Amino acid sequence: MPTVWASRYASRTKGITSSAIRDLLKVTQRPGMISFGGGLPAPELFPAQRFQEACHKVLSQNSASALQYGETEGYAPLRQFVADKIARHGIKTSPDNVLITSGSQQALDLLGKLLIDTGDRVLVEAPTYLGALQAFRVFAADFVSVSIDDYGLRTELLEKPLRSDPKFMYVLPNFQNPAGTTLSEDRRVELVALAERHGVPIIEDDPYGELRYEGDHLTPLLALDRKSLPRDSSYTSGNVIYLSTFSKTLAPGLRLGWIVAPPEVIGKLAQLKQGADLHTSTFNQFVAYEVARDGFLEEHVQLIRKVYRERRDVMLDALQQFFPPGVTWTHPQGGLFLWVTLPAGLDIQAILKSALEQNVAFVPGDSFFADNKAGRGRSRQSHMRLNFSNAAPEQIREGIRRLSEAVKTHLASMSQPSELPLEV
Ligand SMILES: Cc1ncc(COP(=O)(O)O)c(C=O)c1O
């Protein structure tokens, strides 16, 4: 029975549903389950010892500040650490350009609050990060989806949607979630030029950029946007706001992310953050800074890259070995995911059901499209997002084998005539 509260829910909450991924995570806790579902880092790589030492140091030397309320914008040394990271791309930033958030998911929520009025158009990739759709949907965004291919967002399709005056574009240039694709350097340049020409700014979400397993690092949109300016000019304006996080390089349980933007925008976002949580956990910020400093983070990222590269390769090999013809997948150069495209006509929810019965999980692709319909205007192909960071290599092989059985069974039943001939 609905509670008295149900009739009091604000109208903006209508149509808000729980994330398919978070719901699936509950099922994947079952013993014996091999999960390619969540975007979970490998827990055995969490630098627990370094965290332990950092906690000890913070509590023995700095407990008065670390356990106290802190500034909304974040712990000053951590903001400086982020500014220094950005400076490596040749962008002059100061701590005033940085807001520490409770995960980059909070950054998306705050940016939604700051930028989206009811019915405002927001240009997103198809497919795109489900958590961003969830965050922006609360503010009744009207999504304009533009498809991607192996080289990321198809910039040649942007002219028309940009003329419909979207408030901003939300783009994942590196090892996109869910597809694992990377925006090519040419398209990056074109995208930044289009943003300038149409006056439509960009939110660049980059949680995976450091996790590259092959090829050269590509220039962030933020750096390309500032290229025309003198190298030492401060970041006080521009068309790109940049987001990242410690979730994939240190630990997601920290809930620490950041926004890089002109100081005026940071000030406005800080006002909104005060209403949300006053500030991000002081203790976690002190600890993260102690863990990450003195080159530890860079060293640790090298280890993560090595382990995830191997897992990606095992998954690619297993897909090649077990999956039937007609199924295709992306070849991610980094990140945590690859994206499988199945022949048209398969029922992805039915495949998920069979897969879960075989104790293997994936996320169906539909959730990553703003209109919840995969393959719009094309042949209604369905997709699976597969995560390769969380399972050990031998589990990855076994999981892909089980998944391939589920796909083959459904393919076989599709090729059976759907109606039996009448007996006469
Ligand atoms: C593209 C993207 N943005 C943002 C997030 C949120 O990350 P967090 O809130 O853990 O920093 C994720 C998490 O998977 C993501 O994939």
- Compute the distance between CA of residue 318 and CA of residue 199 in angstroms, rounded to an integer: 45
Contact 93, 235 (CB under 8 A): yes
Atom of ligand 1 nearest to the CA of 246: 11
Q: Do the strands 383-387 and 337-341 form a parallel or antiparallel pair, or are they unpaired?
A: antiparallel
pTM for the whole structure: 0.94
Element (H, E) at 143: strand 142-149
Q: Which residues are CB-contacts of 170 (< 8 A; sequence separation ≥ 6)? A: 122, 123, 124, 125, 128, 132, 136, 202, 203, 205
- Compute the distance between CA of residue 77 and CA of residue 43 in angstroms, rounded to an integer: 27
- Most informative mutation of 129, 148, 182, 339 for ligand 1 (most atoms within 8 A of CB): 129
pLDDT given for residue 151 in this prediction: 97
Element (H, E) at 142: strand 142-149
pLDDT given for residue 69 in this prediction: 98
- Compute the distance between CA of residue 19 and CA of residue 37 in angstroms, rounded to an integer: 12
Is the Cβ atom of 112 under 6 angstroms away from ligand 1?
A: no
Give burial (CB, 10 Å; 0-12/13-18/19+) of 130: buried
The pair of three-digit structure tokens given for residue 395, joined into one six-digit string: 């589990």
pLDDT given for residue 29 in this prediction: 82
Q: Specify the domain boundaries for CATH 3.90.1150.10 within the chain.
A: 11-46+298-412
- Compute the distance between CA of residue 175 and CA of residue 119 in angstroms, rounded to an integer: 30
Atom of ligand 1 nearest to the CA of 252: 10
- Compute the distance between CA of residue 261 and CA of residue 415 in angstroms, rounded to an integer: 53
- Compute the distance between CA of residue 367 and CA of residue 380 in angstroms, rounded to an integer: 14
Q: Do the strands 121-126 and 168-171 form a parallel or antiparallel pair, or are they unpaired?
A: parallel
- Rounded to 10 degrees, what is the CA torsion of 112, 114, 118, 124? -40
Per-position DSSP letters for 178-229, written without gaps between them: TT-----HHHHHHHHHHHHHHT--EEEE-SSTT-B-SSPPPPPHHHHHTTTS
Measured in Å, residue 104 CA sits from the centre of ligand 1 at 6
CATH superfamily name and code, 11-46+298-412 = Aspartate Aminotransferase, domain 1 (3.90.1150.10)
Count Cα atoms within 13 angstroms, Cβ side, for 63. 4
126 forms bridges with which residues in the sheet? Answer: 147
Is the Cβ atom of 180 under 6 angstroms away from ligand 1?
A: no
Is the Cβ atom of 127 under 6 angstroms away from ligand 1?
A: no
The pair of three-digit structure tokens given for residue 422, joined into one six-digit string: 């009448």
Atom of ligand 1 nearest to the CA of 176: 1
Is the Cβ atom of 104 under 6 angstroms away from ligand 1?
A: yes
The pair of three-digit structure tokens given for residue 295, joined into one six-digit string: 């080159």
Measured in Å, residue 382 CA sits from the centre of ligand 1 at 23
- Compute the distance between CA of residue 334 and CA of residue 123 in angstroms, rounded to an integer: 24
Is the Cβ atom of 252 under 6 angstroms away from ligand 1?
A: yes
Q: Specify the domain boundaries for CATH 3.40.640.10 within the chain.
A: 64-294
- Most informative mutation of 19, 46, 104, 248 for ligand 1 (most atoms within 8 A of CB): 104
List the one residue out of 270, 4, 247 whose CA is nearest residue 131: 247
Fold designation for 64-294: Aspartate Aminotransferase; domain 2 (3.40.640)
The pair of three-digit structure tokens given for residue 381, joined into one six-digit string: 């192909």
Residue 46's CB is within 10 A of a number of other CB atoms, namely 16
Measured in Å, residue 130 CA sits from the centre of ligand 1 at 9
Predicted confidence pLDDT, tens digits, the chain (424 residues):
778 999 999 988 887 877 777 777 778 888 899 999 999 999 999 999 999 999 999 999 999 999 999 999 999 999 999 999 999 888 889 999 999 999 999 999 999 999 999 999 999 999 999 999 999 999 999 999 999 999 999 999 999 999 999 999 999 999 999 999 999 999 999 999 999 999 999 999 999 999 999 999 999 999 999 887 777 778 888 999 999 999 999 999 999 999 999 999 999 999 999 999 999 999 999 999 999 999 999 999 999 999 999 999 999 999 999 999 999 999 999 999 999 999 999 999 999 999 999 999 999 999 899 985 544 444 467 999 999 999 999 999 999 999 999 999 999 988 665 444 443 3
Is the Cβ atom of 131 under 6 angstroms away from ligand 1?
A: yes
pLDDT given for residue 91 in this prediction: 83
Measured in Å, residue 243 CA sits from the centre of ligand 1 at 9
Atom of ligand 1 nearest to the CA of 247: 10
- Compute the distance between CA of residue 378 and CA of residue 375 in angstroms, rounded to an integer: 5
- Most informative mutation of 46, 105, 182 for ligand 1 (most atoms within 8 A of CB): 105
- Compute the distance between CA of residue 112 and CA of residue 122 in angstroms, rounded to an integer: 10
